[in-house]
Amino acid sequence: MFTALPRISQVSRIRAVAVLVGLVLAAALTPMTAVRASSSVLTAATPRHLLAKLSGASAGDQFGDAIAVSSTTAVIGADGAGSNAGAAYIYTRTSLGWNTTPTAVLHGVTAGDEFGVSVAISGATVAIGAQGRNSGTGAVYLYTETASGWETTPTAVFNGPHAQEQFGSAVALSKGGLLVGTGNYAAYLFAETSNGWNKAPTAVFYPVGCSFEGFGNAVALEGKYAVVGAPSTGTCSEAYIYTKASAGWNTAPTVILADKSTYSVFGAFLAMSGTTLVVGAVFQNNNNGAAFVFTRGAAGWATTPALAVHGDKGSELGKSVTILGGRVGVGAINNLYGNGVGAAYEFVKSQSGWDSKPALVLHSFVAGDDFGYSMALSTGTVFVGAPAFNPLSGAVYIFSS
């Protein structure tokens, strides 16, 4: 039996009131150190239009705990719905914009499943994690869009192989591949064939570096690259990068990115697109938080970040990270404006590299709603989750970008 850590993104929502005065930004900071560069105060950028607000159905739903978005589809997790059985809502985009009525609503099987604690989308397939299924063993469900719409019966179900492993605490989808993280043990990669999804994993990844704690708490997958976070509560947090070769997936990491500062939980949040990886370290430097952007070139993955952004005054920057092309989103649930009001930032890449000044700053409407707890980027829009809104029913805001 494996005793799993609580999922980092499920830490207590009760926090002290803090007045927050800004962010410290650094454009080239190695994550192994916590040295700060010059500081600057971030103020709100040009106000952006709030396109829509989506709300949870009932108190305790925690609607917006997880968000995944493609160009035309959004899936939003509400793992607290129905006595923590959980639910996931699918929304679609038309030529007129995002519909505020869900196209499909998916539900967990029994109380405590936490269905919707993690979500992912790739093409016409959605993955939903249910880390509490079967007394914490966990499961992952795949759903498919057909010509008649989204199926509400799963196309495939993957069950955790070990008791209390929290299989499904994190999920990532890429064409023909599903990567499933656990609370504190391993990450499993499954492949799709012409006959459907293989239920036996193609590869299983285990920790080999300085941090075994939290391995599998976050995952990212794109093409022939897989990333698994190992966010430690000690002095060594890591993110493992794996590569697929012609003979198959190499289960030894190609690169290990590490942060040896105390309780940074570097690797608790991951996002990858093309040649760029974003890593969140939400508790680095006494809960100030940080987010790092790493890039891959002809020589492989650089271990020095192309961009590093650091929070200040307990802002918990890096609580969520997301990426779409040359846009990176970072959430900070206890940030500017005081009284626990969250914020969401968007950084963009220009011809000269990543700009350390945010192109977009969004902030919460209600103190303590955990605005920035989850984020996703789509063409022309930014989704920001606030799962503690009203009280814990949750909300997701859609802004123009």
- The alpha carbon dihedral of 326, 103, 52, 56 has a sign of negative
Is 126 within 8 Å of 143 (Cβ atoms)? yes
Q: Is residue 35 part of a domain?
A: yes
Q: What angle do CA 92, 386, 265 make, to 5 degrees?
A: 110
**What pTM value is reported for the model?**
0.89
Rg (CA), the chain: 19
Q: Is residue 184 part of a domain?
A: no
Q: Is residue 61 part of a domain?
A: no
Q: How far apart are CA 107 and CA 117, in angstroms?
A: 12
Structural domain of 285: 23-52+268-391
Q: Tokens for 372?
A: 């920035």
Nearest of 142, 140, 250, 136 to residue 202 by alpha carbon? 250
Q: How far apart are CA 235 and CA 366, in angstroms?
A: 34
- β-strand partners of 89: 76, 105
- Considering all CA atoms of the chain, what is the largest pairwise distance in Å, rounded to the nearest integer? 56
Please enumerate in sequence order all residues whose Cβ is within 8 A of that of 75, keeping only pairs 6 or more positions apart, or say none: 67, 68, 69, 88, 89, 90, 91, 119, 120, 121, 126, 128
- Beta strands per DSSP E along 5-114: 23-26, 39-40, 50-55, 66-69, 73-78, 87-94, 97-98, 104-107
Q: Is residue 235 part of a domain?
A: no
Helix, strand, coil: what percent of the chain each, to 5? 5, 45, 50
C-alpha distances (whole Å) from 259 to each of 198, 231, 240, 305 are 35, 9, 12, 12
Task: Please count the CA atoms within 13 angstroms of the CA of 248 that sit on its side-chain side.
Answer: 9
Q: How far apart are CA 65 and CA 13, in angstroms?
A: 12
Res 276: pLDDT: 98
Q: Is residue 81 part of a domain?
A: no
DSSP line for 97-147: EE-SS-SEEEE-SSTT--EEEEEEEETTEEEEEETTHHHHTBEEEEEEEET
Nearest of 159, 188, 63, 168 to residue 120 by alpha carbon? 168
DSSP state of 8: G
Q: Is residue 93 part of a domain?
A: no
| Distance from chain centroid for Cα 130 | 15
Q: How far apart are CA 7 and CA 219, in angstroms?
A: 13
365-382: string of b/e by CB count within 10 Å (b at 16+)?
ebebbbbbbbbbbbeebb
Assign residue 168 a region (left: φ > 0; alpha: ψ between -120 and 50; beta: otherwise): left
Q: How far apart are CA 336 and CA 348, in angstroms?
A: 21
Res 35: pLDDT: 24
- Number of structural domains in the chain: 1
Q: Is residue 308 part of a domain?
A: yes
Residue ranges in the chain modelled with pLDDT below 70: 1-48, 211, 336-339
Res 340: pLDDT: 73
Nearest of 94, 90, 66, 96 to residue 78 by alpha carbon? 66
Q: Is residue 366 part of a domain?
A: yes
